[in-house]
Structure 1
């Protein structure tokens, strides 16, 4: 028989050719059910499943069989068979035969199978060949008498240029040719647009079907796929974007030709709806000529089909290999390159164990049958050949595949844990054994293994679909986007802790009147936020109504300046022209609008004003006082501006000028005129101090300054003094109720108590009895344990504090001090031992408020005895080596001394504006005894001496430590003719 006679005639064969979206497959289905029986071959198992489903809908499942390499559904007496091309019978008695996508006959890997079916398979009544118009010349050449029908595309396909992946329109398919690239694009789309379905040839049909359904049902608007979508998948795609234009065809990387590009791009547009295509990613814009060819469907015709001889010689391995290498004798056919089965045979023919067994025609044919096992795992030809060798050995030796071996292989694949790549590998492995179970005669119990492998593959496919969806689809976003497209009213639910659920999906957190998206970015985040905001519109209005009716106990003001409602921030404070009336800025999304927004803002402003007026009531009262006049009103204004604390030396003149009535009018508002400060004691509590600090920080951008909020806990803990931190803003000490005094800061009210202790010591008259502890000569004093106790300070701290307050120390020895005090009391005492420690400088426990200084006792006659205790007495052998500590006698400093000391202890001026208080001036209370630094200077070094002269007016004005807050008496010029002048002259004469 000649080679030409083996090719059937083209008579009775109709080629229905044309581009995509011409209805060819639909036409074939209609023609098949018009016959009493039929067989249709399709290029993909996925497409075969789709056509099978459509046929079942038309004629019933009992009339349709599905036969693929991995699946077989064969009802008894089924009239129609849907197959993959590889699974089509070599001969048939069916009335109708159709072969789809016949242009694949030119494919290097699978082409020879399509060519064989085109040339040798016919229906009794009708045969249809479906494919691209490029097949017309070669079909007319190989099949004389064939009828060709060309069908035009039902919609237009237009070029849309190049766009970024994130700018692609909805209902787009992005095409790439490697799994890594497909996954990378899908991940990008998930982050930017909510999610994408994924279709690859390596996925199982069930997984691909599930991913396609995800796209078709509108859960996602994007499909990322390989060229698998070009093989007849019917998708609602509006735009096809090429992210790659090169692919590996099994032998080499090459550019796609125009016909292949058109086959894929043609999936855009359905029925009469136009579609578009373009480039994206790193693909260059298409050239004009290429665009024109794709849009007009004009491509170079297919001139050669891949062919492999079907006349195989099984007499020996060598004869089989030679028959496979036979060349075609007809032009238009080319011998196909070795496919997977032929490559496996080449390897196996070199295995000694195979050569020893394959000695008969039957066994050689069985070997060739085993070589047809598909390489689903995409492993090397040698590894694939090893598996075939194992199966073939079992078939020859036992007539069946060893089921224990198969059970172990199936067990290894039966795990649904792992990620995408792991599950894909297991699916490929189980598909291999599904194929084995469907081979007739290979297993003792094929039905059991068909069910077992099918069940495992389905579970693995479902798990893979779940992993793909979880990784590449934001289910929350996809559901919301779908509902938005349907213009449906979204159902929102808000939990008690503010979690927002829309359509059952957690979308974010509602805090007060602000909605925060849980996750996402880009366009999908905006869409989800818009959906949530739309669903939350009623909730915003309801919350506004509840806040407007809320009591003050439901609102709170935090140290950060945030107003919280039931714990959630709803507003923040900002500076205004008046420090006591900060501005309220609402923290709310734009969805809180119109009257609801105004009502919320008004309610919060009322709360803030109420809170400030309540917590800072003394300050608020004095700011609104209408009965204050003149200097009293001015002093009250300064007190409010300085948030309740004035350094007395800053307002010395004003205070001196106040009469008793004016002072009384201010005192009734809780103002205290202290020795060092004029202040409101009620504001020295933690809550008022915290609020005062906040108001100052708002006015002076101090929320981020060091020290803010760190001093209030010390005030709340009852600390009377604290170690200062040089990095803190000094103003915070004053606002928190402390006076900054060098290395230590002392609470303001405690300083006034210190002044109460110092005042009687400076008022004491030498020679009078009893002498108060710490009094020296009526103009100087020593630090006492009571002072240390109320300050919570050590002797060294006390020295720092007194210097900061403007006192200056005169140094005398312990012997001189003891002798002077004894002379004032009219008694004599022994000089103090050389080792005696001055009581004023002894280390004192700050909590020892009621104890005397160690080593000092006061007798009834006023004499001072100084006998060290046993604990304080140094060892005898060291007494002579220890030098006695001097006694510090403190006195109010002069202005010149205070100015010099202020460089270290006082506040500094910055830009001409006072930042704090210059330390070194002390003011006494009303009725206090006048102390004169001039007299102290005259008496310095003269124990028991008396004042010899009055200081002049200038000295009286400049003294820094006076404790009388009354205005100084001003000396008026004396009329020489007045009796007072004569009396003064007489007194002068008497003195002389």
Structure 2
């Protein structure tokens, strides 16, 4: 991913020194101590140089340094000098393990692997994980029952050589190797395809989860674009309202409301909102113009809410009378300029008035009559009472109103 340009930085352990060959410009040491399996110690100068050497490629020089200039995490001047000048203490000893193991039996194999070198510069290698697992399985009766030939000893040793990628300790890894050897020592002597499929599915799921947790491609794309020019963000809006930046979804635009993708991390929400808000002004303006010019058929009334294209744009609240409710625009429309909001308000008022005249003409006639200066005072009072009561009122109340 780093070499492909999907991420700008790598975070790694000291294992980065073991053969990494990528276009790294600088190696920053967060610390200079490690746990080597037995104790916590400072890296040797040779180890520091091996890690620092990952910076630079071909004919381009790289650089290295620490994230702190003081304390245990800082380089000593003599260490920097030794790394830059390639001056390291000579190696006085090498670890050795028998490269020609005896596969006659399990015990013969263990004995050959524990054979010590002749006195001199070679030292017996510390017990490795594969040998520790072999000893653990050698104590199992069922393993000895199945391993009765040199061929089966070789197969057992091959299984013990599986790397402990999970780093959960000897016991969990020994159980894993035991399971693999069970498949290799029975039936056709192969691991079932379904077992591989299950492991690959789990591995793919873990990889996707870790990638999303530590490498948010969406945020990486945003940061790169914003770092150049926020106004150039390639924001696109799909047919269903999905908002994307460089094909990475960042949220949805439902009507006039932008909602950040719920899968986004909390720390990214403000960035995503800022990225979208800068580029959605034009789209919202276009939708505002469309709403102000909407046909009657595009508007409906649902539970006191005026709905346009499936999105609520205004709600009815109590007004001076039943026939004259107050129409209030949804807060989502605050993003529109004032003239555009006024145009939308006027269009919705006209539509609602026409709908009332079409569906409850008698109530509208009463409202008009109550305000008709040509009508008698008594008629205006009666019409006003009927309008306020929705067209129905007790005769006694009307008689008193007269």
For the aligned pair, the TM-score class normalised by the smaller chain equals 0.5 to 0.7
* Matched ranges for 1:504-519 at <5 A: 504-519=247-262
Whether the aligned pair in 2 keeps the contact of 1:575 and 1:583 (CA below 8 Å) is: no
Equivalent position of 1:338 in the other structure: 127
1:348 and 1:389 in contact (8 A); partners too:
no
For the pair 1:604 / 2:344, whether they are aligned, the reply is yes
- For residues 523-582 of structure 1, the C-alpha deviation after alignment (integer angstroms, 9 at most, x for no partner) is 53344445545554543332233223224664567776x664334234578999xx9887
Distance 1:368 1:301 in 2: 39
Question: Which residue of 288, 296, 300 maps to 1:544?
Answer: 288
1:468-867 to structure 2, matched below 5 A, reads 468-469=210-211, 477=219, 490=234, 492-495=236-239, 497-501=240-244, 503-519=246-262, 520-533=264-277, 536-551=280-295, 554-555=298-299, 564-570=307-313, 587-588=332-333, 592=336, 597-607=337-347, 610=350, 665-668=376-379, 670-672=380-382, 679-685=384-390, 749-750=393-394, 753-754=395-396
1-structure distance, mates of 2:318, 2:175: 77
2: CA distance between counterparts of 1:390 and 1:565?
Answer: 65
Measured after TM superposition, the shift of residue 606 of structure 1 is 1.7
Task: Give the 3-state SS of the residue equivalent to 2:5 in structure 1.
Answer: coil
Q: Distance in 1 between matches of 2:110 and 2:302?
A: 93
Name the SS of the counterpart of 2:234 in structure 1: coil
1:324 matched to which residue of 2? 115
Pairing partner for 1:234 from 21, 38, 43: 21
**Relative to 1, partners in 2 of residues 1:574 and 1:485: Cα closer, same or farther, differing over 3 Å?**
farther
Equivalence map 1:130-529=2 (5 Å)? 214-221=1-8, 223-236=10-23, 240=28, 242=30, 247=35, 249=36, 251-252=37-38, 254-255=40-41, 257=43, 259=45, 260=47, 264=51, 267=54, 271-272=60-61, 277-278=66-67, 287-288=70-71, 290-293=73-76, 296=80, 298=82, 301=89, 304-308=92-96, 317=108, 321=112, 324-326=115-117, 328-330=119-121, 334-340=123-129, 342-343=131-132, 371=157, 374-377=161-164, 380=171, 404-407=187-190, 409-411=191-193, 413-416=195-198, 420=202, 423=203, 465=207, 468-469=210-211, 477=219, 490=234, 492-495=236-239, 497-501=240-244, 503-519=246-262, 520-529=264-273
**Residues 648-673 of structure 1, C-alpha deviation per residue, up to 9 Å, x if partnerless?**
xxxxxxxxxxxxxxxx64345x3219
Look at both structures and tell me which one has the larger radius of gyration over its CA atoms: 1
Contact conserved, 1:308 with 1:326, CA < 8 A, in 2?
yes
Task: Give the deviation of 1:341 after TM superposition.
Answer: 5.0
The answer to whether the Cα contact below 8 Å between 1:563 and 1:569 also exists between their aligned partners in 2 is yes
* Partners of 1:385 and 1:553 in 2: CA distance: 70
Question: Residues 209-262 of structure 1, C-alpha deviation per residue, up to 9 Å, x if partnerless?
Answer: xxxxx2332334554544433323134556757499654x4x435355365567
TM-score, normalised relative to structure 2: 0.62
C-alpha distance in structure 1 between counterparts of 2:281 and 2:2, whole Å: 31
- For residues 326 and 589 of structure 1, do their structure 2 counterparts lie closer, same or farther at Cα, with a shift above 3 Å needed? farther
Q: Deviations over 1:464-499 (max 9, x none)?
A: 65565467655655566667778776362432x534
- Give how far 1:681 is off: 0.9
Deviation at 1:308, TM superposition (A): 1.9
- The separation in 1 between residues aligned to 2:267 and 2:27, in whole angstroms, is 19
Q: Where does structure 2 lack aligned partners over 5 or more consecutive residues? A: 357-362
Change (3 A) 1:261 1:533: farther
Instruction: Report the count of equivalent residues.
Output: 367
Q: Distance in 1 between matches of 2:134 and 2:353?
A: 96
The answer to whether the 8 A contact 2:237-2:243 is kept is yes
Query: In 2, Cα distance between the equivalents of 1:293 and 1:506?
Result: 47
- Relative to 1, partners in 2 of residues 1:518 and 1:415: Cα closer, same or farther, differing over 3 Å? same
Which residues in structure 2 correspond to 1:45-60 (within 5 Å)? none
Structure 1 residues 348 and 297: CA distance shift in structure 2, 3 A = farther
- TM-score in terms of structure 1 length: 0.30
Q: Is the 8 A contact 2:236 2:245 kept in 1?
A: yes
| Counterpart-to-counterpart distance in 2, 1:227 and 1:481 | 28
Structure 1 residue 377, shift from structure 2 partner: 4.7
Q: Is the 8 A contact 2:34 2:40 kept in 1?
A: yes
